Amino acid sequence: MRIVLGVGGGIAAYKAASLLRLFTEAGHDVTVVPTEASTRFVGVATWEALSGHPVTNSVFDDVDQVRHVRLGHEADLIVVAPATADLLARAATGQANDLLTNTLLMARGPVLFAPAMHTEMWQNAATRANVETLRSRGITVLDPAIGRLTGADSGPGRLPEPEVIFDAALALATPPSDFLDVPTPSEDAPAGLSLAGRTVTISAGGTREPLDPVRFLGNRSSGKQGVALAAAARDAGATVTLVAAHMDVPAPGGVEVVSVETALELREAMRAAAVHSDVIVMAAAVADFRPAAVSDTKIKKRDDADDPVISLVRNPDILHELVQQREEAGRTQLIVGFAAETGDEHGDVLGYARAKLERKGCDLLVVNQVGRDKVFGQDSNSVVILSAAGAGPESVAGTKDQVSAAVIRRIGSELGRVVPHI
Ligand code: CTP
């Protein structure tokens, strides 16, 4: 694929070098078009060396090749990272005052902007309007990640991680396959961070807690997220065990499946698998309570007796137990939890999620923002990945496949730090 990588003038310009690497290592042909301002951060020579192509930002170089027309026309995809407030403004108003803005006006394929700027600039009404204008024209503008910015400040405005931009960009150029299809093993393992040689255990679906031989207490989990994660881990080269509670979707091919029904069964299966796992992902919706007594026979209505009252007892917190067992056994292992949060008058999504990360003691917490969230303004397929190690929160939006690929990538990068590869 022919990709134009536009680089705006911000401190995050250096991160575009990693993005360029991901593209070229995945076999794409990349031409870098930096803005004049960005060359104060990263020089033209760097882009030429890394891309293997001549680099300019002037429409007056090599005029005979009509570069500003050719680049835009021939590009299968244009990615601008980092996109500054100035660049978004120039693109939204259709200006053509350098090679990058000319190229954007000539674009025939998809265009993606990955913004990076100070929070105030991102939240400024002018920038909001420019982003809305671009989005209304079918251009993808990612939300910036939240975290530490150039100075001491932090908030939304960080350039999303190169892996996240890479995933979003390729998903734009290649329509995602329906994750309900049983995925076939991919020849294209996600570039950069492979899980080859790693053992990954993922729980998925919703547990069912029996009341009698025909009834149970359950939940609405479909298992789709866990299945998409298992497929993404498998495609990244991992040996995958899927501990599957009730699921509405089939398990992916190429993974070992351990079927369970109750929280206690899921706990046993996870304990057993944890002993030889480099990574544990608790994506299952585990019932927090189970009926205190299970009737061997069907519970009948009786006119001569009171209606039954169901007493519940607490199920163990499996995620927390797995963390404790890891400590007791002295295992090096990466443990990932999931959480669904809405935020309320007492706290926001991130506040609740941070508290949960600490309470559970896991290394990463993938937070589903249920419904539209005021902070991020993203839909229900958006997640925030929180890390106990202090690396900034990362927001990812897209289909469950795209979100899973991003989670697996993040696991890959955290894993290098936590668990030495033997
Ligand atoms: N989980 C678990 N065992 C349980 C309940 C949950 O291992 N008995 C795991 C889930 O698989 C998920 C994470 O814990 O990875 C978050 O669960 P959640 O229900 O959101 O958190 P709670 O601690 O129950 O907090 P609350 O319901 O108050 O938000």
Q: Which atom of ligand 1 is nearest to 315's Cα?
A: 8
CA of 133 to the centre of ligand 1 (A): 40
For residue 377, the model assigns a pLDDT of 34
Tokens found for residue 50: 């890394």
- Residue 14 is assigned to a structural domain of this protein: yes
CA-closest candidate to residue 33, choices 45, 47, 13: 47
Q: Does the predicted model carry a pTM greater than 0.85?
A: no
Q: Is the CB of 229 under 6 A from ligand 1?
A: no
75 lines ligand 1 (CB under 6 A): no
Q: Name the residue with the closest Cα to ligand 1, atom 14.
A: 319
The answer to whether residue 179 is domain-embedded is: no
DSSP sequence for 360-405: HT-SEEEEEE-S--TTT---TTEEEEEETT-PPPEEEES-HHHHHH
Catalytic annotation, pick one of 102, 130, 219, 368: 219
102 is catalytic: no
Closest C-alpha to 206, from 178, 232, 225, 180: 225
| CA pair distance 274, 169, nearest whole angstrom | 35
Contacts of 392 (CB under 8 A, 6+ apart): 145, 146, 147, 148, 154, 158
pLDDT given at position 173: 75
The answer to whether residue 194 sits within a structural domain is: yes
Tell me: do 18 and 128 sit in the same domain.
yes
Give every CB contact of residue 306 below 8 A, 6+ residues apart in sequence.
none
| Whether residue 156 is found in the same domain as residue 293 | no
- Confirm whether 319 is domain-assigned: yes
CA angle 404, 333, 289 (to 5 degrees): 70
Among 119, 144, 174, identify where a domain stops: 174
Is any atom of ligand 1 closer than 6 Å to the C-beta of 340?
A: yes
Q: Same structural domain for residues 239 and 165? A: no
User: Could you tell me how far CA 189 lies from the centroid of its own chain?
Assistant: 16
Q: Which atom of ligand 1 is nearest to the CA of 319?
A: 7
Domain containing 262 equals 188-297+309-422
Residues 265 and 381 in one domain: yes
- Is 368 a pocket residue for ligand 1 (Cβ < 6 Å)? no
Domain CATH for 3: 3.40.50.1950
Instruction: Choose one of 217, 219, 336, 356 to mutate for the ligand 1 pocket test, by most ligand atoms within 8 angstroms of C-beta.
Output: 356
Locus of tokens 């949960």: 356
Residues paired with residue 240 on neighbouring β-strands, in sequence order: 200
Q: Is the CB of 315 under 6 A from ligand 1?
A: yes
pLDDT at 64: 65
Ligand 1 centroid distance, CA of 286 (Å): 7
DSSP code of residue 168: H
Q: For residue 339, which atom of ligand 1 is closest to its CA?
A: 20
Q: Kindly give the distance from the C-alpha atom of residue 298 to the centroid of ligand 1, in angstroms, as a whole number.
A: 30
Beta bridge partners of 5: 32, 79
The number of domains in the chain is 2
Indicate whether 180 belongs to any domain. no
Residue 399 falls inside a structural domain: yes
CATH number reported for the structural domain that contains residue 404 in this entry? 3.40.50.10300
Q: What is the pLDDT of residue 371?
A: 56
- How much is the pLDDT for 376? 34
Residues 6+ apart with CB under 8 A from 270: 201, 203, 243, 280, 282, 318, 322
- Does any ligand 1 atom lie closer than 6 A to the CB of residue 282? yes
Of all protein residues, the one whose alpha carbon is nearest to atom 4 of ligand 1 is 317
Q: What is the DSSP string of 97-109?
A: SSHHHHHHHT--S
Tell me if 272 is assigned to some domain.
Answer: yes
- The string over 16-26, giving b where at least 16 C-beta atoms fall within 10 Å of a residue's C-beta and e elsewhere, is bbbbbbbbbee
Q: Which of 142, 174, 206 is the last residue of a domain?
A: 174
Local confidence pLDDT in tens for the 422 residues of the chain: 999 999 999 999 999 999 999 999 989 999 999 999 999 999 999 999 999 999 988 877 776 666 667 888 889 999 999 999 999 999 999 999 999 999 999 998 899 999 999 999 999 999 999 999 998 888 889 989 887 777 777 778 999 999 889 888 887 776 433 322 222 233 343 444 479 889 999 999 999 999 999 999 999 999 999 999 999 999 999 999 999 999 999 999 999 999 999 999 999 999 999 999 999 999 999 999 999 999 999 999 999 989 999 999 999 999 999 999 999 999 899 999 999 888 788 878 888 898 999 999 999 999 987 754 333 333 346 788 999 986 778 888 777 888 899 999 999 888 865 555 44
- Write down the residue that tokens 């935020």 correspond to: 343
pLDDT value of position 189 = 39
Crossing angle (nearest 10°) for helices 400-418 and 162-173 = 150
Question: Are residues 317 and 339 located together in one domain of the fold?
Answer: yes
Alpha-carbon distances, residue 103 vs 38, 56, 66, 142, 409 (angstroms): 16, 12, 11, 20, 31
In a domain, 183, yes or no: no
